[in-house]
Structures are given as C-alpha cells and as structure tokens.
Structure 1
Amino acid sequence: MTGIPDLRDHLDALAALGDLRVVDEPIDPDLEVAAYTRHGYENRSPAPLFTRPACAVPGARLLGAPAALSSRADLPLARVALSLGLDPATAPAAIVDRLARVRDLPPVPPRIVADGPCQRHVALGAEADLDRWPVPVVHDGDGGPYVNTWGTIVVRTPDGSWTNWSISRVQKLDGHRMTGLFVPSQHLGVIWRQWADRGEPMPFALFQGGPPATPFVSSMPLARDVDEVGYLGAFYDQPVELVRCATVDLAVPTTAEVVIEGHVSPGRDADEGPFGEFPGYLVSGTGREPVYTITAITHRDDPVWPVIAEGRPVDDYHTAAGVCFAAEALGLLRAAGLPVTTVWCPFETANHWMVVTVPADWRRAGLDSTTLCARIGEVVWPTKFGFTVPKLFVLDDDVDPADPAELLWAVGTRQHPVDRVGVNAGPILPILACYTEREKAAKVGPRAVYDCLLEHRPAHSSFAGAYPAGVRERVRALLER
C-alpha cells in the first residue's frame, strides 16, 4: 500500500460505486439528519453527504451511514470492505479473516509529525464552542444532541504505558461540556478509573474522520494494554501519521476531520442519556457519568463529520461491531486449537447471535460435538465482547453464515427442538431486551450454545446441489439468451 487513505478517499470510492448521495438542500441536525440516515438504512440507499447542515462553521458537512450496508445489491458489504482498504467485492469470511490475522502481527508504532490538515483551523478556550457545530439529535427522546457516534476517543494511562482508542457515545451538555458512557469493564472506563483514583482530570482527544479503518479498529475487542494505533499500523503495513494535540499531551491522525480536546472530570458529575442503542429499541432513564470539558477544537478545511443513527439493524454499529467481534473470536478460537472455518455475527440479529462454522473433518480434533461446542463457549464467553452475545450457534461450513437466507434455513432445519444446547450463567449487557428485569439488574443471565452440527452432511436440494454440472450449464445458457 502506497499510502493510508483518509475519509475523503472513502467518499471518492463510494461515489465511484454510485453509493454516495450528495444532499445540497438545507437540513436540520435536530433529528432531520438522523431521520434521513435511518430511512437510508431501512431502504438500502446510498450514504448521504449533507453539505448544508444548519451551523456556523463554514463548509462543515455531515456524512451519514459511512459503513452501513451498501445500496449496491451486488456488493452488500462494499462500505465495510472499502473502509478496511479492501476490494468492495471482498467476501464476508475474507474480511473477518483479514482482521483476525492482523491481531497476530507485530504492532507498527505510529509516526509523530509536525503538523497536519486536522489543525488547519484552531479554536482555543471560549472560542472552542460546540454551539457552532451541527451536533445531531439522533432519536426523539434522546437526552440531547450526541457529539460522538462514529468518532474515536483517545486516552492514556497516567503512567503513559497504554494509549487506548475506542468508540463510545458522547452527549453534548452545552457549548463547552459533554458527557458519555464510562463502563467500568471497558477500556475507556478502566483508564478513567486510574485517573479518578488519583483525583485528577483525564486528558482526552475525540476525533472524527482520519483513516477509514479507524472506527473498526476502535471497535476491536483487543486485549488490555494493546494500543489500537499499533494494530492499525500493522493493518496498513506502515506507521499511522499522528500530530500532537494543541492543548493536551495526546496525538491524533493528521487527516482527522475534527478534533475535540480537553479533560474528563474524576467524578460522575452529569446525567447522561437516554439514547436509542444498537438492540433497536428506544429506551428511557439516565445515568451519572463524568464530564468532558473542552479546551480546543481543531479541524480541516470543509470538515466532514460522520454520523450514525443507531437503532434497528442493519446500521454501522452492527457492521463494525459484528465484523470485529467475529474477527476476534476467530483469532481466539484458532489460537485455542479448535477446528473453525469462520465466525460471523449476523447483523440482522443486532449482533445478539454469533455463528461459528467448522469444516467437515472437525472430528480430527478428537472431540465430540457436545465437547466442541462447550469449548467454543469457553473461549467466547470470557472475552471483552462475550457479555453482548447471548446466543452461539455452531454449524457445519456447508452454509454461508453471512447469507441470512442460508443461515435461517440451516438453523431452522438443524437446531434440535430441545436437545443439544449448553446453557450457563454469566455477565450480560443490561440493555439486551431478551433478558428479564431481574437479570438486567443483576447484570447476570443465561448464555446458550446451540449444537447444530449434522451427523452426516447430505447434499443440498438446491440448484448447485441437486443437478449435474452439465444440466446447470445448459440452464445458464438458456437464461442468457
């Protein structure tokens, strides 16, 4: 690769595919931008680029659905593949395999440079005002406008040993303050706790844009103490160029579109939420969370601010988290020596399912199907993402788990009505609607592994499986006339 692409290269690639729609009409960030984006998810429309959102920043644009399913029916994962620098026709299993293999490569540290386009315009102190920006209200009933839905938050441990990049929702409180989720078990919450225990505010940088693979890498459930920017460098096979922030001792990609800098309070000082999350339901209720105080906002000329409108699948959260969770699970299962072909989180289930497929000779591992399925659960459940996946399905690899029609057929015909299911209790994500209120309150509930493996693989009664090659060729020739 000759250079690391940025968000604008991604826009050019989408335009070349006919998968970008430029919206030049004025539009209100208060619900209209998100509603337009949400309509696009549900109707598989091109990604909208809003060139005239109501705001005071000259040339500011909003981009909806940067990594959702494509409007091209022949290239459904084109936006995902292009985000990851792959051919738009790359198959789902190949995307997951690529991410899984990178996790085993040595990290490539970033390169710090003197300046970059992200600091073409610099606003400090009182001039760093979110009220000038088109911060969207995403759902009717949300706690307020949400500054972050697709950007990356950069924080570092007090001893400087670990720099973490992650995605987490961030809500605007006023022109100079924000709040957001700091989940104790997630890396952002772990690092914040280290600063809070010292009674010190935590420096942060929140950037939008930059290398298009960044939101995926920021979603990767990498191990604690692993720097995402090193993984990103390994992914691109070259260092990511970073520039030091204007007011905090952190660094961000030179090609970031917008950078917000400042400090996070050591206490939980503000009400955050509610916000319509990835399971697809509007929710109520708030929680006490830390406050981000802004010290600087920098940006490129004519900055592009990506927005996702989370909700019912399939949207960008489902594609990014689903692909990344599957890649991490695939890498871990391979490392455990288990015979696995691929892993997939079906987007249509809001990533509540994880499907593991195995090759025809899986018995070479010396395991029966019950033991194999139990071992798979033992690898997946303790992971950073395991508490978000209540159901695991283990299938033969004669089906493509990324094809919803094939997957439904296979699960429907191979899952035993009552037997061959392993259930255990463990940590769960309370926003998952499938759990009872008691389970949500305890944050503990059942997880299941469904053994859908066949004793013998019969041929499929399909065009490819039920007719000789000569007959298929003859029929194709007739269809082409």
Structure 2
Amino acid sequence: MKHFTDLRGYLDALRDLDDLVVVDREVDGDMETAAITRRSYEVRSPAPLFTNIRGARPGFRILGAPAAMSSREDMPYARIALSLGLQPDSTGLQIVDALADAQTREPIPPVVVESGPCQENVLLGDDATLDSFPIPIVHEKDGGRYANTWGALIVQTPDGEWTNWSIARVMKIDGKRMTGLVADGQHIGHVWNQWVEIGKPMPYALVQGAEPGVPYVAGFPLPDGAYDAGFLGALVGEPIELVKAKTVDLLVPATAEVVIEGHVSIERDAVEGPFGEAAGYHPMETSKQPTFHVEAITHRNDPIWPLVAEGRPPDEYHTVTCVGAASQCLARLREVKLPVSTVWSPMDSAGMWLVVTVPPNWREMMDPDTTSDTLAQYIGQTLFWNKAGLYFPQIFLLDDDIDPTDLAEVTWAIATRIHPVSKRVQMDSVILPLFVSHTDIEYKRGWGPRVVFDGLLAPIGERMAHTSFAASYPEELQRKVIENWA
C-alpha cells in the first residue's frame, strides 16, 4: 500500500505504469481537451496530461481521465486502486472489500499544517478571477463552461459540527461567479439549507487536483454526518494534511493544485445547465441553483486542473459511484448479518445495476424456512432505503459461482437464471433523476418502482454443473491443455 499525498506523485506512478501520456502539442482549451478525454475513455488509452493549452498561461496543465479505467489490460482498476492507496493490480472486488472494511474502522482525524503547496500563489479581490484559468466546455450542448467535474466541494454546517466533501457539477457564469447543483437530497443541499434558515451565505471551498483519494471519497455516498477526511485517513492508514483556507473558515487539502474560496447565495438565483450526464444521455433541462461567488483563488506553481468528460460508461462517475456505492451496500449487508459473498455494480450499466452474490450454502446460514424470495426481500428492504442503495433501481441476486465483475458471466447468469415474469421483488421508493428509464410522472414525484431479481440456483445437490472448461474436464487434462494450447 502506498498513500499518494499529492496529485503529482500519483501521476508519477501512472507514468511508471505507462498509463499517462503527456500531450505537448497545442490543443484548443474550449472543447478539444474534453473531446480527447472522452475519446480516451472509449478506447481505454492512457490518461492525457495537456501541457500546451491555447490561451492558457505557460505552465498551466489539464489532466484528463484522472481516475478512469486503466489502459493496462492486466490491471484495469489501477487508477482507482492507486487513488485509494491500494496496489495497482488490485481487482474490483478487492477494492470494494477494502472500502467496506475501512467503514468498520475508527476514522483517523486529519492534521492541520501551517502552510501547504496549495497556497504558493494567492489571488484576492479582482485578481481572483476564473478568467485566469482555461476552463473547458465539456460537451457541445452544455449550458456553459464547467469549472468543476472532478473537484471536491467543501462546506460546513453553521454550528461547525459537520464538514462535508462532495462532488457536484459547477458551471462558470463569469470570472467572479459560478452556479452548481445543490440538490435538497444531497449532503451539500442539507448543509446549504441550514445556512438558508439562518439567512447567511454559505462559505465554500472548491478544491481542484487534491491528492487522488480526496475526490474519490468526496464522491462516495457516505452516511449523513460522516467526516470524509477521517474516512480517507482510515482507508490509507494515516492522517490527511489540511491547511486553513485564506478567506473562509474551512480546512482544505494542503497539496491541492487549485482552491477556489467564497460564499454561496441563499437563493436559487442562477440558471444551471444543461450538462451531459452519467447515464449516457444529454438532457436539455436547466434548473435554478444558488450562485457561488468567487472571493479568493490559491494555487500551486504550474497548476494541474483535472477534467472529467462525463457520459456513457465508464468514466469517473462510474468508477466512483459503482465502486463506492457497492462497497457501502456490502458493508450494510454485512452489518445486518445477511450471508453475502460480495457486491458489485457493473460499470457498463451506468451504475443502474447492482449484483449481490451469496455462497452456495446460504440456506444453512439462515432460518430453515428462509426462501430465496425471502432473502431477496431482505436485501431490497436493506438497500432500497439506504443512501448507497438509492443509486440502483435494479438488483440482481446471484450465486457466487458468478464473478460479478465479469460482464459476460453476469449476462449469461441473467439470461439463464432470471425468470421472465416471476421470482422478483418489487418495492417503491425514492428514485433519482439519473434513472432515465422511469416515467415522467415518477420523475416529478421522485417516487417509483425498484426491483430485486432472484436468480438464485437450487440448493446444493440439486443444481446442474457448468459446461465450462474449468467445470467439464479433469484438472490434469486442464493443465495439459493449458501447457500446450495456452
């Protein structure tokens, strides 16, 4: 395990893995950086680091696809694993298990340092302008330039009891103003509403290019009141270094590349959107959102601005939400003592599917009268009202002879083990706007159906064997074939 305490050390590790490409030729700062980044997801190329951006100050850089799937076929989750302090060859299930385990540990509080690289340059007053940075257009149909696609928003309740990190899209209005999604159902919305109640603007810090675990944890669906910095410390095994912001009473990651400081209005007084979204579609709706006023900007020398070109999977929305929410669901199912082997959300489902696997002897681990239908109900009741479980309208309950990270195996299991009509548990609960398959009426009321599909096999001794290479031939013959035929 290695904890990368800044983005630059992480990039050195990607370079060593041949998973980083430095783009020295001039690129257009409007959309070309985003287009190259989007293309890199779809062909699984190394992360692009742009060093020559038209109109940008010398030394300014943009990093595309900072935590996407790796270009290394032998370690596809390397960027995720390295971001979280794990070995680059960690499997998806090992990452989920490590995150679930970290939730059972005591948080490790951060340490506050006197100064940090994030404040090598301090811009105040008129000098603190977003116009100094080549903030890109991410998609052609977006409503503006998006100043945040992979940065952590840091806010705190008025009583100082809860500091929250989150990721939300934030759109540039002009050099001194931004607007972003402040949804009532999200943690940032909970905190903002408390400031609205007392009639005072909310202090915020928008952190770009922090150590790689920061945006990852900021995107996790941690429980209400959880301290993200403490959870990250527990995950990497040591405290995170924070420094006091220059103009607001907030602590920010000391090694961040850029920190934007200011206050958020207490009214929804700006128009945000549209923006291409993680389900893979580009809605054209806009909404009224609060204004983020820019009062100070600090940054490192030669800063690096991370860029996520969100869209069809997999990109960072999916590497964060699919992995993070799956780990939360696994931790919750373990907490209530259900016999679960593992949990995974296939990224190609855009985070709409959750696969829960159980051991072949799960019946022996529960009440003798428990049927597969009953187990499916338990899982639905546990997850559909859990914050992390809210992300998934469809849960597939399968035996653990299936590797849920292998989409071919999952597809085969769904096709051959899910009954066309029966063996499913439907429950109504909160639905999210990203659920593009629901009806307009369901979206408007924010309430609709979710389902657990029961694909469990018959008890041990009653199920059919697989007709695979591993299951159909003696081990000695398998070894001979592998030695001679690879």
TM-score by shorter chain over 0.5: yes
* Structure 1 match to 2:210: 210
Q: Are the structure 2 counterparts of residues 409 and 255 from structure 1 closer, same or farther at C-alpha, using a change threshold of 3 Å?
A: same
Separation (CA, whole Å) in 2 of partners of 1:431 and 1:229: 27
Unaligned runs of at least 5 residues, structure 1 = none
Q: Residue 371 of structure 1 corresponds to which residue in structure 2?
A: 374
Q: Return the alpha-carbon distance in structure 2 between the equivalents of residues 14 and 273 of structure 1.
A: 33
Report the CA distance between 1:203 and its aligned residue: 0.4
Q: Secondary structure at the match of 2:188?
A: helix
- Structure 2 CA distance, aligned partners of 1:99 and 1:3? 15
Q: CA deviation at 1:440?
A: 1.2
- CA separation of 1:70 and 1:443: change in aligned 2, threshold 3 A: same
Match of 1:407 among 410, 414, 427: 410
- Aligned partner of 2:186 in structure 1 is 186
The structural deviation recorded for 1:55 is 3.8
How far off is 1:2 after superposition?
7.4
The answer to whether the Cα contact below 8 Å between 2:30 and 2:137 also exists between their aligned partners in 1 is: yes
Contact 1:308–1:316 (CA<8 Å) still a contact in 2? yes
- Please name the residue that 2:383 is paired with: 380
Letter of the structure 1 residue corresponding to residue 458 of structure 2: E
Superposed CA offset, 1:286-314 (max 9, x none): 10000000111111111111111000011
Q: TM-score, normalised on structure 1?
A: 0.98
For residues 115 and 199 of structure 2, the distance between their equivalents in structure 1, rounded to whole angstroms, comes to: 33
User: Contact 1:4–1:240 at 8 Å: present in 2 too?
Assistant: no
| Shift in Å, 1:210 | 2.0
Whether the 8 Å contact between 2:4 and 2:212 is mirrored in structure 1 is no
| Matched positions, count | 480
Moved more, 1-10 or 276-285: 1-10
Task: Say if 2:329 and 2:389, in contact at 8 Å, map to a contact too.
Answer: no
Structure 2 distance, partners of 1:175, 1:189, is 24
Indicate the residue corresponding to 2:106 in structure 1: 106
Matched, 1:462 2:468: yes
User: Which runs of structure 2 are paired with 1:237-276 in the superposition (5 Å)?
Assistant: 237-276=237-276
Query: Aligned pair 1:471/2:483, yes or no?
Result: no
The 10-residue stretch of structure 1 (333-342 or 53-62) with the greater mean CA deviation from structure 2: 53-62
AA aligned to 1:365 is M
Q: CA deviation at 1:52?
A: 1.2
Matched, 1:159 2:159: yes
* Matching residue of 1:8: 8
Q: What RMSD over aligned residues (CA atoms) do the two structures have, in Å?
A: 1.2
How far the C-alpha of 1:479 sits from its partner, in A, is 2.5
Kindly report which structure 2 residues correspond to 1:37-436, keeping only aligned pairs within 5 A, or say none.
Answer: 37-363=37-363, 364-366=365-367, 367-436=370-439
Distance in 2 of aligned mates of 1:173 and 1:53? 21
Percent identity for Structure 1 against Structure 2: 52
Do the aligned partners of 2:65 and 2:315 also contact (CA within 8 Å) in 1?
yes
Q: 1:91 to 1:2 in 2, by over 3 A?
A: closer
- Of the structure 1 ranges 62-71 and 453-462, higher mean CA displacement relative to structure 2 is found in 453-462
The 8 Å contact of residues 164 and 228 in structure 1, kept in 2 or not, is answered as yes
User: Partners of 1:229 and 1:207 in 2: how far apart?
Assistant: 13
Q: Deviations over 1:250-277 (max 9, x none)?
A: 0111110110000000110100000011
| Aligned partners of 1:151 and 1:208 also within 8 Å | yes
Compute the displacement of 1:4 (Å).
4.4
Superposed CA offset, 1:167-223 (max 9, x none): 111000000100000110111000000001111000000101222111221122111
Relative distance call for 1:374 and 1:44 in structure 2 (3 A) is: same
Distance 1:296 1:55, change over 3 A: farther
Which amino acid letter does the alignment assign opposite residue 279 of structure 1?
Answer: A
CA deviations 1:134-188 (Å, max 9, x no partner) are: 1111111111000111110000000000000111110000001000001101110
Q: Match of 1:414, as an amino acid?
A: R
CA distance in 2, matches of 1:463, 1:40: 34
How far, CA to CA, are the matches of 2:393 and 2:315 in structure 1?
Answer: 20
CA distance in 2 between partners of 1:350 and 1:4 (Å): 28
Unaligned runs of 5+ in 2: none
Distance 1:19 1:106 in 2: 34
Structure 2 length as normaliser, TM-score? Answer: 0.97
CA distance in 2, matches of 1:74, 1:378: 37
Q: Which amino acid aligns with 2:418?
A: Q
Q: Aligned-pair distance for 1:3?
A: 5.5
Check whether the contact 1:55–1:133 (CA below 8 A) recurs between aligned residues. no
Q: Is the 8 A contact 1:345 1:353 kept in 2?
A: yes
- Deviation at 1:23? 0.7
Amino acid paired to 2:105:
L
Q: Once the 2 structures are TM-superposed, how far is the Cα of residue 82 of structure 1 from its aligned partner?
A: 1.2
Structure 1 residue 58 displacement after superposition: 3.2
Residues 1:156 and 1:412: Cα distance change in structure 2 (over 3 Å)? same
